[in-house]
Structure 1
Amino acid sequence: MGEEGGGRSCGITRDLQKLKQQAMAYYQENDVPRRLEELLNSTFYLQPADVYGHLANYFSKLAKPPSICKIVGKIILDGMGLPTLQVEISCTIQNFPKYICSVVIPAHFEVSENALPEVVDAEEAERHQAVNAALQWVNESITEELWGLNPSNQAEVDHRLRIFFENKVQEDKERKELERSSEEPVHAPPPVIPPPPPPPPTKKKGQKQGRRDTLLEKPIIPPEPPEPVLHGSMAIGATSLAVAKASARLTGIPLYMNMASLKHGQEQPSMLTMPLLMGSVLSCGKSSPGKLNLMKEVICIPHPGLTTKQGIDLLLEIQKQVNRVMETPPPPKPETKKGHDAGKRGQQPITGKMSHLGCLTVNYDTLEQPLLLIQGICSNLGIELGMSLHLAINCAAHELMDYDAEQWDGIYNALASRCYIIAGAASRSVSKLLEHRNISTPKSHGLIINHTNQTTMSDLVEITHLIDGKKQLTILGSTEAESSDDSLVDLAVGLGARFIKLGGLSRGERVTKYNRLLAIEEELIQSGTWGSSEEHNFASFQEDAEKTPEAIAEETLRPLDSIFPPEVVEESAKL
């Protein structure tokens, strides 16, 4: 036993001696003493703790890069008090797990206004199913899919997320087919033969043929079915954003700079421009007690020559004037000869109700009334419309009864040379746009892009490249039910979006994004990377550019008279 123990001791001694020799050779080969001496000489004025910090930073470069070790999903409430998904990212750094960051993705559901209780209950149930499915995806599968990846490898992360989502889509398809096949065949009842149509009413003697009988009513095209959204898809977009934010945190750069590097092939651009503001100042549509169903919101766009801070100050001043109109009592209603009041002429234009878009709701009945209100406010403030400030209208076209694309084309042909025509809900989701590579239907100057569902950071980079290649505008837009997460602003700046649509300057979930805009602009100015925005250029499609000015003028002016009444055309010309 003694000899055996002595032999083992000698073996350990030889191993230690061998390790010492290898370490000495490594230090001599890499000249570590000289490097340490240079480091200490360069930091002689620092405290010992600072010296150790420099040493730690130096040797950390030789350590294994951070890797994803844990992804956690949680259900939180958004700005409307509705459930949505939060994703947290933890990474292994120098062999220790460490929490890095979290993000919140808004749900894609629209906010129901004046809907029936059963419709609201159905939408809430569907929202809960979507969020719970996303929570299950994150906590049970996605960590395993991304474990060990470097957060800086966004392309590989998004590739794995895309494959994961495609498998989920296939599983859902197979499940539905299995459910259909498992159902017992039901014998279809015999077809019911409809009764013959009643004979047309006989024309009475002396009765004149009315005009209504001579015109055939245009059939109403049924609405297109909504694009299906797989429950759980929020997990894909949220996880992709969380990884991008974690990568930015670990490399010590802002999220917008990380996104800019992704768009420009890992090269940080020398200049970044701030997106132009699209601030909602009046809420209309179905939330209005009036009859403004054809106008969901009135939007003000500060001039491109203004900074973001100047633009926000301008929007705040307009909002302040709108509030004053609300506080002003309405004029007394004039009495008619019969003692009755004159209808709604003396009604209060502002209801005082704050909409989910972050602006006040109006109580008007005609389209020109809210526009004239903004025109009067700008006149009182000395703001020249079309110069310091531009107006925009969200007409909520997808809520109208007529789904014929010809109507949209008619509006584009009438107005495209004088203003931007932007497609929001009329365009497809980002994944469908990338699948078909067609962003020109319907005709528009640009698209509103929302970061929801399965949209990854790679998808956002690709869709902005596609839009830029078509010389159209990219607008990053907030959803109807927003959260307090301000990552959308970083995405807009990093991707070089032309506009950002955040709603009004009220409600915390929207104001926090305006504050983030101010912070980013200040950072860019201090670092010398702030670039000015281009002027508005209401350019049409290439085929429009080939037409003569006379043809464009004839095409532009004629439809206005048929779309709007003459008095509205006159007022819009003044605006």
Structure 2
Amino acid sequence: MEAGERRRLRREAAEYYRGQRVPERMEDVLNALFPLPPADLYGELANYFSKFSKAPVICKLVGRKVLDGVGQPTLEVEIYCTVKNYEKRICSTVMATHSQIPENALPETIEADAKERNYSVHTAVQWVNEALNTMLRDLDPTDQCQADKMLGEYFANKIEEKKKIEKEEEEKKKAEEEAAKATHASPSCPSASPPKQKKGGKTGKKVSAEVNPIPPAEPAEPVLRGSLAIGGTSLAIAKAGATISRVPLYLHTALLKHNQESPKEMTLPLPMVTVLNCEKKLPTKLKLVKEVMLIPPVELSLQQGIERVLDIQKEITRLFESPAKRLGSQGDTRKGKPQKAPPPPLKRISHLGCLTIGYDNLEQLLLQLQTACNNIGLELGIDMYLAINFAAHELMDYGKGKYEILTGTFKTPDEMVAMYVEMIDNFPFIIALIDPLRKEDRDQWSSICCALGSKCYLIAEDAATQISKLTTDQNINIAMCSGVVLKYTNQTKVSDLIELTGVLHGQRRVTILGSPDRESSDESLVDLAVGLGARFLKLGGLSRGERVAKYNRLLAIEEELAANGALREAKLEFVDFAEDSQPEQLPDVLPAPEQD
């Protein structure tokens, strides 16, 4: 700009501020006085001075009781941070809950479990709003390791407090019993108790009753009231750390796992989409199967795989709605008389987000799925694979010492192994068996892994112990298996998942992150699965909002990674346990499917 022009603009500006006259183009005055437009200038100044501001720290935790996807109480944790001297709400998490009560439990057992859950959530809210709120104040939300360490120490102290209280109660009860015995003891009846002791000394029948052909069920892991506060707070801090760092939660998790080294590529977990829920309490004969899941081929994009699953799901529903096309609906003959077609199967959407249906045998179920796929031009084993959850711990009849696979049909643990071997030989499109046996049947787990490990995944879900015990001494204290389903519940911390997935990877076992029975609308599980490099993601079906939201989140992550060129194709590799001593052997890989 020439000197004369600059003087003119200055004169016009001075006259303007004296109120003498308004220049025709005030923008020229401002542009001359400021090298940048005002908005840009303020942004530059804000960015400059923000370098000298204090890093955000946690200033407040808020816990409250909310409802999960099935209307049961659970915990929400909110994180507030001090950002540039202002208190700001950063994020919140809603915990999912997992019940250890089987679906065929007695009503009074279910009612007691519901009451205990209410007490536990109430205690968790108190922990968050009181002790944890004070303990974690002024903590850097990006320091996940320190946060989880503090949470772990707090929980350990609560465990010790509970043990101390239980010990005091036990000692008090013992003292009361001894005092009662001393009070009832009298010289007038010295021979009252000895006959009872002699009568009880007959142990002939007890000796035979002690012979048990199967290992007894391990007691359920106790859940400390309030433990949801530990898992909820740890996950909320992870989300806050990702928000403060301005990265997605899945990338923040990957950075935590890889010591802040950003991965160049990431693999999406393959979805295990539940399409059928065969409840144990249904009146039909088949008790063996609890969940049937579809696994899309790895060569398809997630979007293509989900669309293919939806097509199969629609066809299955259509077959159920059409009596002429249901299996067995044509009506067979008995003693020369035509029989009426069986009544329509039970149809309703379960809490898992899929169709609830019963069958009379396994072949009937698998034939129905094959028919549905064939009707839309797909073939199981090429265009889609199956995974089956057997929930074997719910099948055991401890009186007989056998599994009840059909109503009135029982098998020993060894016979179960032989049945699964035959099943995979006849139906090779089944590539994952979840909980085919109880966790107590360790010998049979070894047998089935050696027999089928090179053909499919043998996965422990309820057959695995709690995450807090899985990480003890860097060892996985479960039976031999191909992988473990991890569920983020109770006192689980993000650091626990990072540690455990590393141990599983070192032992050539795959990681499956799974939704608990009572899922919430929180989508964090998907980000954790991607960031931790899980092989599978078990989210349930595609028919409930809290579950569909997670599939939508997975699709969004796929789109983001693909746009950044950071998406790596997954692989399905089985472990040959019989040849496990030879690590150089190439694993079995599934055949490539046809693209849509």
Quick check: TM above 0.5?
Answer: yes
**2:233 aligned with 1:239:** yes
Given candidates 244, 250, 262, the residue that maps to 1:250 is 244
Given candidates 544, 553, 561, the residue that maps to 1:524 is 561
**2:59 aligned with 1:62:** no
Instruction: Kindly provide the CA deviation profile for residues 274-320 of structure 1, in whole angstroms up to 9, marking residues without a partner as x.
Output: 10110111111315331222111111111111111111111111111
Alpha-carbon separation, structure 2, partners of 1:172 and 1:78: 28
Q: What is residue 316 of structure 1 aligned with on the other side? A: 310
Per the alignment, do residues 353 and 46 of structure 1 end up closer, same or farther by CA in structure 2, a change over 3 Å counting? Answer: farther
**2:176 aligned with 1:185:** yes
**2:394 aligned with 1:399:** yes
Alpha-carbon separation, structure 2, partners of 1:407 and 1:65: 55
**2:278 aligned with 1:288:** no
SS at match of 2:139: coil
Identical aligned residues as a percent: 49
1:404 is displaced (CA, Å) by 2.7
Question: Does the aligned pair in 2 maintain the 1:110–1:480 contact within 8 Å?
Answer: no
Per the alignment, do residues 324 and 111 of structure 1 end up closer, same or farther by CA in structure 2, a change over 3 Å counting? Answer: farther
Given candidates 398, 408, 411, the residue that maps to 2:448 is 411
1:96 is displaced (CA, Å) by 1.4
Per the alignment, do residues 125 and 463 of structure 1 end up closer, same or farther by CA in structure 2, a change over 3 Å counting? Answer: same
Instruction: Kindly provide the CA deviation profile for residues 231-257 of structure 1, in whole angstroms up to 9, marking residues without a partner as x.
Output: 111111110110110111112111001
Question: Does the aligned pair in 2 maintain the 1:280–1:504 contact within 8 Å?
Answer: yes
Instruction: Kindly provide the CA deviation profile for residues 492-535 of structure 1, in whole angstroms up to 9, marking residues without a partner as x.
Output: 0011111100011111110000000011111111122111112x
**2:356 aligned with 1:371:** no
Instruction: Kindly provide the CA deviation profile for residues 346-381 of structure 1, in whole angstroms up to 9, marking residues without a partner as x.
Output: 343x42111111111122111222111111112222
Q: What is residue 335 of structure 2 aligned with on the other side? A: 337
Given candidates 119, 137, 144, the residue that maps to 1:129 is 119
Q: What is residue 486 of structure 1 aligned with on the other side? A: 523
Deviates most, 185-194 or 220-229 = 185-194
SS at match of 1:421: strand
Question: Does the aligned pair in 1 maintain the 2:275–2:294 contact within 8 Å?
Answer: yes
**Matches for 1:2-81 after TM superposition, within 5 Å:** 47-81=37-71
Question: Does the aligned pair in 2 maintain the 1:351–1:360 contact within 8 Å?
Answer: no
Q: CA RMSD in A?
A: 2.5
Task: Give the length in aligned residue pairs.
Answer: 486
SS at match of 1:84: strand
Question: Does the aligned pair in 2 maintain the 1:158–1:457 contact within 8 Å?
Answer: yes
**AA of the residue aligned to 2:523:** D
Given candidates 560, 572, 577, the residue that maps to 1:541 is 577
Q: What is residue 156 of structure 1 aligned with on the other side? A: 146
**2:478 aligned with 1:441:** yes
Q: What is residue 119 of structure 1 aligned with on the other side? A: 109
Instruction: Kindly provide the CA deviation profile for residues 533-554 of structure 1, in whole angstroms up to 9, marking residues without a partner as x.
Output: 12x222123754559x9xxxxx
Per the alignment, do residues 114 and 46 of structure 1 end up closer, same or farther by CA in structure 2, a change over 3 Å counting? Answer: farther
Question: Does the aligned pair in 2 maintain the 1:237–1:455 contact within 8 Å?
Answer: yes
1:420 is displaced (CA, Å) by 0.7
Q: What is residue 502 of structure 2 aligned with on the other side? A: 465
1:50 is displaced (CA, Å) by 3.4
1:442 is displaced (CA, Å) by 1.1
Given candidates 122, 131, 135, the residue that maps to 1:141 is 131
Given candidates 248, 254, 257, the residue that maps to 1:260 is 254
Question: Does the aligned pair in 1 maintain the 2:450–2:577 contact within 8 Å?
Answer: no
**AA of the residue aligned to 2:200:** I
Given candidates 60, 82, 85, the residue that maps to 1:95 is 85
Given candidates 512, 526, 530, the residue that maps to 2:549 is 512
Per the alignment, do residues 82 and 501 of structure 1 end up closer, same or farther by CA in structure 2, a change over 3 Å counting? Answer: same
Per the alignment, do residues 419 and 368 of structure 1 end up closer, same or farther by CA in structure 2, a change over 3 Å counting? Answer: same
1:113 is displaced (CA, Å) by 2.9
Per the alignment, do residues 45 and 120 of structure 1 end up closer, same or farther by CA in structure 2, a change over 3 Å counting? Answer: farther
Q: What is residue 556 of structure 1 aligned with on the other side? A: none
**Structure 1, unaligned runs of 5 or more:** 1-39, 199-215, 550-575
**2:536 aligned with 1:496:** no
SS at match of 2:120: helix
Question: Does the aligned pair in 1 maintain the 2:101–2:110 contact within 8 Å?
Answer: no
Deviates most, 72-81 or 180-189 = 180-189
Per the alignment, do residues 337 and 185 of structure 1 end up closer, same or farther by CA in structure 2, a change over 3 Å counting? Answer: same
TM-score by length of 2: 0.77
**AA of the residue aligned to 1:358:** G
Q: What is residue 431 of structure 1 aligned with on the other side? A: 468
**AA of the residue aligned to 1:91:** C
Alpha-carbon separation, structure 2, partners of 1:370 and 1:272: 36
**AA of the residue aligned to 2:217:** P
Q: What is residue 301 of structure 2 aligned with on the other side? A: 307
Deviates most, 88-97 or 331-340 = 331-340
Question: Does the aligned pair in 1 maintain the 2:95–2:520 contact within 8 Å?
Answer: yes
Per the alignment, do residues 45 and 277 of structure 1 end up closer, same or farther by CA in structure 2, a change over 3 Å counting? Answer: farther
1:338 is displaced (CA, Å) by 6.6
**AA of the residue aligned to 2:390:** C
Per the alignment, do residues 197 and 471 of structure 1 end up closer, same or farther by CA in structure 2, a change over 3 Å counting? Answer: closer
SS at match of 1:285: coil
Per the alignment, do residues 397 and 57 of structure 1 end up closer, same or farther by CA in structure 2, a change over 3 Å counting? Answer: farther
Per the alignment, do residues 93 and 117 of structure 1 end up closer, same or farther by CA in structure 2, a change over 3 Å counting? Answer: same
**Structure 2, unaligned runs of 5 or more:** 1-29, 182-192, 397-401, 403-439, 586-596
Question: Does the aligned pair in 2 maintain the 1:362–1:370 contact within 8 Å?
Answer: no
Question: Does the aligned pair in 2 maintain the 1:287–1:361 contact within 8 Å?
Answer: no
**2:447 aligned with 1:452:** no
**2:475 aligned with 1:477:** no
Per the alignment, do residues 218 and 163 of structure 1 end up closer, same or farther by CA in structure 2, a change over 3 Å counting? Answer: closer
SS at match of 2:64: strand
Per the alignment, do residues 94 and 272 of structure 1 end up closer, same or farther by CA in structure 2, a change over 3 Å counting? Answer: same
Q: What is residue 354 of structure 2 aligned with on the other side? A: 359
Alpha-carbon separation, structure 2, partners of 1:461 and 1:197: 53
Question: Does the aligned pair in 1 maintain the 2:331–2:338 contact within 8 Å?
Answer: no
